[in-house]
Amino acid sequence: MPTVTPDGLTVLDGGDAPIRALVLDADPARRGDAPPLVQLRDIARPIPPAPGWALIRPTLAGINARDLALLSSDRTLPPMGAPRPLPMVPGSEVVGVVEEVNGTRWAREGQRVLVEPNAGCMIRGFPTCARCAAGEAELCENRDRPSVIGPGADGGLASGGGWSEGVLAHEEMLIPADGISDQRGVLGVSLAAAIHAVLRWNRRGDRVAVIGSGTTTRLVIAALRRLHPDVDITVMVDARGPQRTGRRRRKLPAHLAVDESSVARALECLGAARVWRGSPAQLLDRTAELLGARRMIVAGDDLPVLDRGLDAVIDCRGTAASVALGMRLLRSGATIVVAGRAGRLELDWSALWSRELTIAGSGGFGREPAGWRTFAAVREWLTDASFPADSLVTHRYQLDAFSTAIATAAAGEAVGAVKVVFEAPSAPFRQRRLAVDTELPVDDTAAPMLLAATAARVRRDDEGGG
């Protein structure tokens, strides 16, 4: 049997069938805050640590902004979940197949599932905290504490692990993926984040700007259009201004490049009325002209604020420049939703109190104001073929092509990438074992009509449903 090390990875004893995983580890040749190394390694097949847990074989696993921040040792992002010392396996966006279960109620081997990466107190072995009791597992008061079940529980989807051939997840984190393709299912986490961001705006008005151009931005546009069909949406793709970060875009083969008009057309197809690029000054001028707003200049300030500006801004970048621009674009009393993973930002907050703006953070998803779970809408929308999600996965890579995959995801729009994913081998583990397990017939009539943790309604084929 394998042993579990303090860092949460399992060590082979020679008798276990290994799986491959992209492992993030410290670079022994470098010191300090140097970026960690990513290596493709053989690790022991994870074992469900307690009843209710399952081993999931990812069919697709996404690369998101938080993964890229881990790879670059970005210390400006707030920690999410229990501390996970290196080595670790990144990846929290997963659609996959149940490979092994430990005392589950409804999850069965061979079942395709989406994963909601929210692990609350019950899942991780703690007494239920106030937030989990309210159905807000994404805000669990114990999320910064190592699980009492052991490192295996913290090594599941709540903390990552999808960049591999096997990852642990509790049954309450699983949603049946019937009627949802892998191409759409891997967008579940991003779509949940987008829905939650839109619902953080308590609608008052009709004009909204979305700042960004990546996966979350595109799904925010689609969610706005679905939830508020009459809203006017302006997308501001490049709102970073002349002050750039120190990042340089990686150069990739020319055949991957796209032009700006292609990006604009894609955003308009999702529901944007217009797509703009430019400096903050240019974007403010164009917004003023669109709305007939007056530009107000404050003494000592180079940029104006708009007196009859937008009703809401959803900022999917979360940089100092984008947040500052968003506040200037708003009318008095309006709302900016910060959906990007902003860290330490230096901003002039005088407009916040003087114009009575509201800043709403949106860092996750779970239970929405109306009482339903975000992933209930995720499953419903992804099952609906009319929801525009099919074109968002632009690049697929095998695990052994991780360098190219990560470079493509980091370059993003510059190389025509939206959602970049890893795809794992299609063969189940049992077909790759030396010993063949005896399989028993499974009765799936007990599959839940309503998941306890996700409240995602599961409609049987013979019931139809809209």
Residue at 8 is within a domain: yes
Q: What are phi and psi of 197, to 5 degrees?
A: -60, -45
**pTM for the predicted model, two decimal places:** 0.82
Per-residue pLDDT reduced to its tens digit, 178-195 = 999 999 999 999 999 999
Does residue 338 sit in the same domain as residue 432? Answer: no
Residue at 402 is within a domain: yes
Mean pLDDT score of the chain: 80
Burial of 136 (0-12, 13-18, 19+ CB in 10 A): middle
Residue at 22 is within a domain: yes
DSSP reduced 3-state for 90? coil
- Examine the pLDDT at 249 and tell me if it is beyond 90: no
Does residue 228 sit in the same domain as residue 300? Answer: yes
Residue at 76 is within a domain: yes
Q: Do 334 and 310 contact (CB within 8 A), yes or no?
A: yes
Q: With CA atoms as reference, report the closest residue to 80 among 114, 119, 22.
A: 119
| pLDDT value for 226 | 97
Boundary residue ending a domain (361, 386, 404): 361
Does residue 356 sit in the same domain as residue 212? Answer: yes
- Beta sheet of 232-238, edge-to-edge order: 274-277, 232-238, 207-211, 310-315, 330-338, 358-361
Q: What is the mean pLDDT of residues 428-450?
A: 41
Q: What is the mean pLDDT of residues 271-296?
A: 94
Does residue 21 sit in the same domain as residue 170? Answer: yes
- E-assigned strand segments in 158-202: 167-170, 174-176
Q: Do 184 and 171 contact (CB within 8 A), yes or no?
A: no
| pLDDT value for 174 | 94
Does residue 46 sit in the same domain as residue 66? Answer: yes
Give the whole-angstrom CA distance, residue 214 versus residue 418. Answer: 6
CATH number of 438's domain: 3.90.180.10
- Examine the pLDDT at 13 and tell me if it is beyond 80: no
CATH number of 290's domain: 3.40.50.720
Per-residue pLDDT reduced to its tens digit, 394-437 = 999 999 999 999 999 999 888 889 999 999 865 565 555 443 34
Structural domain boundaries enclosing 318: 201-361
Boundary residue ending a domain (326, 361, 396): 361
More confident residue, 310 or 13: 310
How many beta carbons lie within 10 A of that of residue 258, not counting itself? 14
Q: Do 422 and 405 contact (CB within 8 A), yes or no?
A: yes
Does residue 154 sit in the same domain as residue 216? Answer: no
* DSSP annotation string for 261-324: HHHHHHHHHHT-SEEEES-HHHHHHHHHHHHTPPEEPPTT-SS-EETT-EEEEEESS--HHHHH
Residue at 194 is within a domain: no
Boundary residue ending a domain (309, 329, 361): 361
Does residue 335 sit in the same domain as residue 240? Answer: yes
